[in-house]
């Protein structure tokens, strides 16, 4: 970087060649580095697009001031910490009469009537001239971008120390009262069981607010083991992991079993392959995800997405869950009604409703029916399966016959076997013949 590069005129060919040779010598270390106005050496390896100041910040001087933050925008942090608004501070003496341009409510010149934070009076200080307030301290503090958005800017740490002191006093009073109650209980001379129960009640009543809830005490032990532990051992055992909560990666140590993702701590497949998922305490994350009301929740979420795409912004799965559930139920009801109406219209137009009826359950059942036949086709063991009926009427014997026509053959003619008559319309006389 050369000083001639900051000039406004165009360099000649010889000057440009000299400038390039000088820059090469500075980069090689054979020529001294360029110095800015403060005497600091400028690194020759800095590229030109960084070292050259833009047109709106170019002062014609050599240096990297345009790359550094201005001191006006970065004041001394020690001074910035101590400078803050004097809240509630007053200056000067209280005025005895109303001044022109002052607040009509309290008579202060530092703010207007619409910005007054005093209680609104029935008649302001402008008309009564009484109870005037002193002027407030008005400060003009210039804060940086980050200081304006700092939520703890201006906070006094001494306020937190006062809060901690108040809590310590409360805890000390609670401990003293607890000790006095226990002393009274011991002095009363009650029974051992009653004293233990009363001591537990006092322990629970005057416990410290920093202790954990008593809901976790059930994990300490079973069968009265909890009474044998003192308070110190209680807190120690309470912080231990619950032994019933087995880690997912310990459920099946076979490396070829369900994959465990350590980053998301998820095991999607069933680690106990070959066993029924409903009988297991844990059957993988996918079983939990696709059981119970999980599918219904997913359908409601998809319904909210589709409704939003159609322009209905009132359906939102996270913002309006109740309204979305009601809208989804109404949508399902209307969809089923529309589907039934279309179905009835098709059946009324083309017919065929009888084909939609389900067959009897007896035709769909699978039973273990064993029948053994002989070579001639006779049943040896078991009961023969009943022949399936047809659409024609069966086992109907008109004219008092007990057999069908064609069951008797004689002399080249067909007849009834029961009465041995050949005419088809003959009345059966088998009973009369027997008599």
Least Cα distance to 85 among 110, 116, 118, 112 occurs for: 110
Query: 363 in helix, strand or coil?
Result: helix
Query: Helix and strand tally (H, E) in the chain?
Result: 13, 6
CB within 8 Å of 268: residues ≥ 6 apart: 258, 259, 284, 285, 286
Euclidean distance between CA atoms 309 and 303, whole angstroms: 10
Tokens of 52: 């050259």
Q: What angle do CA 70, 74, 78 make, to 5 degrees?
A: 150
* 64 burial via Cβ count (<10 Å: 0-12, 13-18, 19+): middle
Q: What's residue 196's pLDDT? A: 58
Q: What's residue 415's pLDDT? A: 93
Helices (H), 264-367: 285-289, 294-309, 321-350, 361-364
Q: What's residue 268's pLDDT? A: 85
The 8-class DSSP code of residue 199 comes to H
Q: E strand or H helix at 415, and its extent?
A: strand 413-416
Query: 289 in helix, strand or coil?
Result: helix
Tokens of 350: 């083309």
Taking every pair of Cα atoms in the chain, the longest distance, rounded to a whole number of angstroms, is 152
Euclidean distance between CA atoms 374 and 320, whole angstroms: 74
Euclidean distance between CA atoms 372 and 385, whole angstroms: 11
Q: What's residue 384's pLDDT? A: 65
Distances (CA, A) of 90 to 46, 98, 116: 55, 17, 15
Rg (CA), the chain: 50
CB within 8 Å of 11: residues ≥ 6 apart: 4, 19
CB of 371 closer than 8 Å to CB of 382: yes
Q: What's residue 390's pLDDT? A: 76
Measured in residues, the chain has a length of 435
Q: At what angle do helices 294-309 and 321-350 cross, to 10 degrees?
A: 90
Q: What's residue 339's pLDDT? A: 94
Query: pLDDT tens string for the chain (435 positions)?
Result: 544 444 446 789 999 999 899 989 988 889 998 888 888 888 888 888 888 888 888 887 778 888 877 665 555 554 445 577 787 888 888 988 999 999 999 999 999 999 999 999 999 999 998 889 999 988 888 888 888 888 888 888 888 999 999 999 999 999 999 889 888 888 876 555 555 566 666 666 666 655 544 444 444 444 444 444 454 444 444 445 566 778 888 888 888 888 998 888 888 888 888 888 778 888 888 887 777 788 888 889 999 999 988 888 888 888 888 999 999 999 999 999 999 999 999 999 998 888 888 888 777 777 777 778 888 888 887 776 666 677 777 778 888 888 888 899 998 899 999 888 999 899 998 866 555
Query: 336 in helix, strand or coil?
Result: helix
């Amino acid at each position: 970087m050369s000083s001639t590069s900051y000039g406004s005129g165009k360099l000649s060919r010889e000057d440009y060649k000299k400038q390039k040779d000088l820059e090469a010598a500075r980069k090689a270390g054979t020529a001294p580095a360029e110095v800015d106005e403060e005497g600091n050496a400028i690194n020759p390896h800095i590229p030109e697009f960084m070292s050259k100041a833009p047109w709106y910040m170019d002062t014609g001087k050599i240096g990297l001031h345009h790359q550094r933050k201005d001191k006006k925008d970065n004041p001394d942090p020690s001074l910035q910490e101590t400078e803050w608004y004097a809240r509630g501070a007053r200056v000067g003496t209280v005025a005895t009469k109303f001044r022109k341009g002052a607040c009509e409510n309290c008579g202060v010149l530092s703010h207007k009537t619409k910005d007054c934070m005093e209680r609104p009076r029935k008649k302001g200080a402008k008309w009564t001239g009484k109870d005037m307030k002193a002027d407030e301290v008005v400060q003009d503090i210039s804060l940086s971008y980050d200081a304006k958005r700092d939520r703890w800017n201006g906070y006094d740490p001494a306020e937190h120390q006062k809060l901690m002191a108040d809590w310590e006093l409360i805890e000390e009073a609670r401990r003293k009262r607890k000790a006095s109650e226990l002393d009274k209980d011991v002095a009363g001379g009650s029974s051992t069981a009653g004293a233990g129960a009363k001591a537990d009640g006092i322990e629970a009543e005057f416990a410290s607010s920093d202790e954990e809830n008593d809901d976790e005490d059930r994990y300490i032990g079973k069968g009265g083991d909890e009474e044998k532990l003192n308070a110190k051992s209680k807190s120690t055992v309470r912080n231990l992991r619950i032994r019933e909560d087995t880690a997912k990666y310990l459920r099946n140590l076979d490396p070829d079993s369900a994959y465990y993702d350590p980053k998301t701590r998820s095991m999607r497949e069933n680690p106990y392959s070959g066993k029924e998922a409903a009988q297991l305490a844990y059957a993988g994350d996918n079983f939990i995800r696709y059981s119970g009301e999980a599918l219904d929740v997913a359908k409601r979420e998809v319904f909210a997405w589709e409704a939003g795409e159609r322009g209905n912004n009132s359906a939102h799965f996270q913002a309006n869950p109740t309204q979305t559930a009601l809208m989804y139920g109404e949508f399902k009801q209307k969809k089923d009604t529309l589907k039934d109406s279309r179905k009835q219209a098709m059946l009324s137009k083309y017919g065929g409703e009888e084909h939609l009826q389900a067959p009897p359950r007896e035709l769909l059942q699978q039973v273990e029916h064993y029948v053994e036949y002989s070579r001639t086709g006779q049943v040896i063991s078991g009961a023969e399966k009943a022949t399936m009926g047809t659409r024609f009427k069966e086992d109907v014997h008109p004219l008092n016959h007990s057999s069908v026509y064609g069951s008797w053959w004689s002399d080249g003619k067909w007849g009834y076997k029961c009465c041995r008559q050949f005419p088809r319309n003959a009345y059966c006389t088998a009973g009369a013949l027997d008599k």
